[in-house]
Amino acid sequence: MYDQAKLEELEKISRLIRYHSLSMTTRAGSGHPTSSLSATELMGGLLFGGAFRYDLAKPDSPNNDRLIFSKGHASPLFYALWAVAGAVSEEELRTYRQFGSPLEGHPTASFRYTEAATGSLGQGLSIGVGTALNAKYLDRLPYRTYVLLGDSEMAEGSQWEAVQIAAHYKLDNLIGIIDVNRLGQRGETMLGSDLDGYAVRLAAFGWQTIIIDGHSYPQVLDAFDRALGSEEPVMIIARTIKGKGVSFLEDKNGWHGKALDGSELERALKELGEIDMSVRGKISLPEDLRPEAAEPVEAQERNFPPDKPMATRKAYGKALARLYPQFPRIVGLDGEVGNSTGAETFKEAHPERFFEMFIAEQNMVGAAIGLARSAKIPFVSTFAAFFSRAYDQIRMSRYSEANIKFVGSHAGVSIGQDGPSQMGLEDIAMFRAIPDSVVLYPGDAVSTDGLVEKAAAHEGLVYIRTTRMDTPILYGPKEEFEIGGSKVLRKSEGDVASVVAAGVTLHEALGAWEELKKEGVAIRVIDLYSVKPLDQAGLLDAAKATGLVITVEDHYPEGGIGEAVRSALGATGVPVYCLAVRKKPKSGLPGELLDFEQISQKAIVAKVKEVLWRKKSQALQVPGYGR
């Protein structure tokens, strides 16, 4: 069926790929050669057998097929493929796993042919869902997404989230390849060599399955040909041998993640036979098409009546709908709570730009990575608490340099009677911990709108925290909000303390200002809407002017606003007191819970009076710290 000369050429290519995989890991003294050897024919057949289409000179071309190594530990194979294609030099291969090399131990965006950072298993198929959604529904281009999967990672629930959603959206342009080599890191995988076990499960979800011998080029090439004609997502289930090609490695436990030493490498290379270092594989070029895209146009002006309170979660959806014409690369994703997060407003206005991802947050974030890597601006929304389920995907998105905007609603105890399972109280800490992230926490509808606009324009990861309850409008329609800024809402020459708050507690602080004013006590109220980066200069001015800072947040103290402010002001010697959620939350009315956690107007007033009394009585023994 296949030309004998072509098959012989592929066999030569396989020997060279194996040579590179073994040599570079021995040179580095670490890596995963056996995991690379098992998938050599699978990936050699894909790239150089005619199915895969890619312009090596244009890695960012929207027409290129996507190749995602979900089993990112097989990076020696990944880099060897591009070397055999003529895109990576042998000299560059020699830098594998060295400090500063783009050829890192697991693929990251620093390597020019990496679609997304992988290595934390169970994420690649979700990323592939995102790139496939982009091709079919947004750019409307004929490129396909191929995802190499390890059999061990098929135990991850995120894989089955991706399998379900791919069938739901009929992603016939998504092709997975399971490298069933039987052995994981410490022994046999859950299903071992039970290829039918994988097939039955996947077929039940609506995937076409193709079972093959993963070391037979005729079967490999035939499988990719069949996959190209499918009307469903396809999973190629390949029986392979870990360490294939080297007798003392083949199907042997204990070699996972272990490089060969010099003498072992010499033995292995002899078994591979003659290596033709000059052989090169040819990758077919894709069509040169333009993706469907709208041109940016100026958005309509904000419209939030000053006398009508609105929850920031609702303002988020309105802002996204308003701003889409200005940022036509925006895409909305939501975890089946769009009527609560406000995302349904965007869905109603621009249904072709919205994907319902259901209660499957890990896959939702993974798909957002794929969309972001396809030059879209995904806004991903769910309850703030539920992002904790997808934190691994969120942290990995940073290594993909994915331009994603996360929006967490129903944050804090102020959501009320739903109780602690629904209360996001760790989210600020989660997102602050990610390098180069931006964390925004608007206090009213106008600031929400302004910060959504800044988030859309910002290149990089942004988290916007929104709340459930309606809050009064604080700002005029023309007010501008900068990332890294803050707003001073109440100020006088006689201020004795600066109260720093955001979101719901900002309104509690304004109430405290009113109450204390009646008693002749003046405080400064600061809206710290940008939690990261924060307005260090503005905070320093306030601290020096008032000599005392009190932070108030509807969040646990660890990693929250208080710790951020203390860090910014640590060198000043100005005392910083932090009011935060310190008791295990309960169900109750919002006001009851704010009082219970001592982050309400009443608690702020009490703390200001307590600290001033201490100051007057000179009883403050540890300046700079307190509750």
Q: Which residues are catalytic?
A: 361
Are 260 and 26 in contact, with CB atoms under 8 Å apart? yes
Q: Which two tokens stand for residue 81?
A: 């493929």
- d(CA 369, CA 577) in angstroms, rounded, equals 39
Q: What angle do CA 182, 186, 188 make, to 5 degrees?
A: 25
CA-CA distance, 381 to 314, in Å (whole number)? 12
The 3-state DSSP class for residue 57 equals coil
Whether the CB-CB separation of 539 and 486 falls below 8 Å is answered with: yes
CB 566 within 8 A of CB 500: no
Other C-beta atoms closer than 10 Å to the C-beta of 99 total 6
Count of Cβ atoms closer than 10 Å to residue 60 Cβ: 9
Take residue 366 and report the two structure tokens written for it. Answer: 């993974």
State how far Cα 498 lies from the chain centre. 36
CB 173 within 8 A of CB 200: no
Integer Rg of the chain from CA = 28
Handedness of CA 528, 530, 535, 538 (dihedral sign): negative
> Which amino acid makes up residue 207?
W
Instruction: Evaluate whether 532 touches 438 at the Cβ level (below 8 Å).
Output: yes
User: Quick one: tokens of 9?
Assistant: 């050429």
Q: What is the DSSP letter of 405?
A: E
Contact 504, 467 (CB under 8 A): yes
Q: Name which of 233, 268, 247 is nearest 160 in CA terms.
A: 233
Q: Which residue has the tokens 């291969």?
A: 93
Tokens describing residue 404: 């994603």
Please give the Cα distance from 214 to 110 (Å, whole number). Answer: 30
DSSP string covering 574-610, please?
A: --EEEE---S---S--HHHHHHHTT-SHHHHHHHHHH
d(CA 315, CA 425): 21
The two structure tokens encoding residue 52: 């895969």
- β-strands 377-383, 354-356: how paired? unpaired
Tell me the C-alpha to C-alpha distance, in Å, between residue 175 and each of 68, 171, 172, 234, 539. 10, 9, 8, 5, 52
Residue 115 vs residues 35, 65, 66: alpha-carbon distances, Å: 20, 10, 7
Residue 585, preceding peptide bond in cis (omega within 30° of 0): no
* Count of helices and strands (H, E) across the chain: 22, 18
Q: Going along 477-601, which residue ranges are E strands? A: 487-490, 498-501, 524-527, 530-532, 549-552, 576-579
